[in-house]
Amino acid sequence: MNAVVERAEAVEPAVNALSERTFEEALVQAKQAERAYRDGGTPRPLEGLAVAAKDEQPIAGRLATDGSLAYADHVAEVTHPVIERILAAGGIIHARTTTPEFCCAGFTQSKLWGITRNPWNLDYSPGGSSGGSGAALASGTTTLATGSDIGGSIRLPAANTGTVGYKPPYGRVPAMAPFNLDHYCHDGPMARTVADCALLQNTIVGPHPHDVVSLRPALHLPDQLGQVNGLRIAYAPNLGDWEIEPDIMANTQAVADALRQAGAIVEEVEVGLRRADVMRAAFTHFGAIFGPMVARVAAEHGDKLTRYATAFAAHSHTVHEQAGGYLAGLETEAAIYTPIGELLDRYDALICPTTGAPGLRAGEDYLDTKLTVNDVELDHYLEYSMTTVFNIASRCPVLNVPSGRAFNGVPTGVQIVGRTYDDPTVFHIGAALEHTRPWAFRPESL
């Protein structure tokens, strides 16, 4: 714990990943954990491990700001189920991690906390909305971290920071009302290695009395991971018409080659989705639940909100209305899942890039300028991401693992997508890939 604290004091002025630090309390807990190991007891699964908790997940008696000046003084009355389980397992929550306001962006910056930067290249964002968690892991200021994912908010930061992030299938990990009832929403683990990610997932999984969609019984991942011999894996260099930059194409191909080397049968496939359909389905969905929540706060607090938060609420409302409402959105979602479901009926898993470009610029909200990928100007910056497809296909487990680094030094990632509720397979594939292509490094510049 001393090492983690010293590391945070050294790099946090540049990275800005921690929204709250409770180091003194953490050191007291670390002493208690030390005794649990020294005195011959039975240490709990996370005994003494530093866990950075995403600020979105409330802890009773502590600030619960949602990254917004509107809630700068709000104190939580309840604790998130994920946090409860980490504490019960002996984990030490020594810090909480930054997010964009209301977690409604694919980058991490806010009026409340400022700009969080990518440890690999400080000119870039670590992604969002669990950007603080990804940046903390990459810069060595935590051992484990929590995240949440409504459109890629675990996988985008994991891809951009060279870490591992898991979007569990819907209902596998308990969440809090009302967003536990939103099938796009997932809480999950982040770590530097597949085994660490599995350890945290096994800690937070299982039914909870306050979450009606939480699945029973709890499904625990096996201790031994990495068996892929004979698995049939579909390799999609692109999910359809996304713009993919050459570095990411090459890194994804290298992942496919590595899995063949590990004994899997890997075949290139075409999925045939259109990113415009995915964006329309996603914002139609956001316009029914997430957008109105942000708009309600904006109506009361006005100028306290960031421009990107109010723009998100307005855009989701417009798309929702133009698309014909929630029913029309569900019809589009069903059409999007059809080719994925057909592929996963023939293959054990699917691999594809997490993003089409290596990271977003730090401090940019992409409201006044458009994101350009492969010299193509995107209508919305989130079109650079291929994560939202699998919030639509929410029952599919998806593990992001690193695939390499791009020209700008920013890491890139691949998504390992499993059949509905088949969590172990994606972890086996991730572990096999990690063994074949080790990656647990930290940025040289920090």
CATH number at residue 188: 3.90.1300.10
pLDDT at 442 over 90: no
Phi-psi region of 325 (alpha: psi -120 to 50; beta: other; left: phi over 0): left
CB contact burial 80-113 (16+ within 10 A = b; e otherwise):
bbbbbbbbebbbbbbbbbbbbbbbbbbbbbbbbb
pLDDT of 244 reads: 98
Choose between 444 and 143: higher pLDDT.
143
Reading the block at residue 59, the tokens are 């802890």
Kindly indicate the confidence band of residue 313, based on its pLDDT and cuts at 50, 70 and 90: very high
Residue 129 a catalytic site member: yes
pLDDT of 446 reads: 76
- The answer as to whether 441 is a domain residue is no
Residue pair 167/149 in contact by the 8 Å Cβ criterion = yes
pLDDT at 277 over 70: yes
Please tell me which residue in 19, 54, 110, 133 is annotated as part of the active site: 54
Average pLDDT over residues 374-384: 98
- The answer as to whether 443 is a domain residue is no
pLDDT of 445 reads: 66
Residue pair 137/192 in contact by the 8 Å Cβ criterion = yes
- The answer as to whether 318 is a domain residue is yes
- The answer as to whether 100 is a domain residue is yes
Question: 146: closest CA among 87, 66, 81, 83?
Answer: 83
For the beta carbon of residue 293, count every other beta carbon within 10 angstroms: 16
Average model confidence (pLDDT) across the chain: 97
- The answer as to whether 302 is a domain residue is yes
Residue 133 a catalytic site member: no
- Tokens 């209508």, residue? 379
| Total count of residues recorded for the chain | 446
- Tokens 């006044």, residue? 368
pLDDT of 349 reads: 98
pLDDT in tens, 138-193: 999 999 999 999 999 999 999 999 999 999 999 999 999 999 999 999 999 999 99
Residue pair 430/190 in contact by the 8 Å Cβ criterion = no
Three-state DSSP at 230 gives coil
Count of domains for the chain: 1
Average pLDDT over residues 417-424: 98
CA angle 299, 303, 309 (to 5 degrees): 70
pLDDT at 317 over 70: yes
Please tell me which residue in 19, 110, 125, 129 is annotated as part of the active site: 129
pLDDT of 440 reads: 66
User: Would you call 424 exposed, middle or buried from its count of C-beta atoms within 10 A (0-12, 13-18, 19+)?
Assistant: middle
Kindly indicate the confidence band of residue 307, based on its pLDDT and cuts at 50, 70 and 90: very high
Domain range holding 350?
A: 2-436
Question: 142: closest CA among 132, 157, 128, 152?
Answer: 132
Three-state DSSP at 114 gives strand
- The answer as to whether 125 is a domain residue is yes
Q: Cα dihedral sign for 219, 225, 226, 230?
A: negative
Question: 94: closest CA among 3, 164, 182?
Answer: 3
Kindly indicate the confidence band of residue 370, based on its pLDDT and cuts at 50, 70 and 90: very high
pLDDT of 401 reads: 98
Residue pair 348/231 in contact by the 8 Å Cβ criterion = yes
- The answer as to whether 168 is a domain residue is yes
pLDDT at 116 over 70: yes
Residue 110 a catalytic site member: no
Q: Which amino acid is at 189?
A: P
CA 262: distance to chain centroid? 26
- The answer as to whether 444 is a domain residue is no
- Does residue 130 have a cis peptide bond before it, meaning omega lies within 30 degrees of 0? no
Average pLDDT over residues 213-242: 98
Residue pair 157/128 in contact by the 8 Å Cβ criterion = yes
Kindly indicate the confidence band of residue 407, based on its pLDDT and cuts at 50, 70 and 90: very high
pLDDT in tens, 59-68: 999 999 999 9
Residue pair 242/209 in contact by the 8 Å Cβ criterion = no
Average pLDDT over residues 329-345: 98
Residue pair 92/108 in contact by the 8 Å Cβ criterion = no
Kindly indicate the confidence band of residue 41, based on its pLDDT and cuts at 50, 70 and 90: confident
Q: How far apart are CA 316 and CA 333, in angstroms?
A: 16
Please tell me which residue in 110, 153, 214, 394 is annotated as part of the active site: 153
Q: In what order do the strands lie in the sheet with 18-21?
A: 18-21, 92-97, 50-54, 144-149, 186-191, 164-167, 398-405, 411-418, 349-353, 232-235, 265-268
pLDDT at 304 over 70: yes
pLDDT of 147 reads: 98
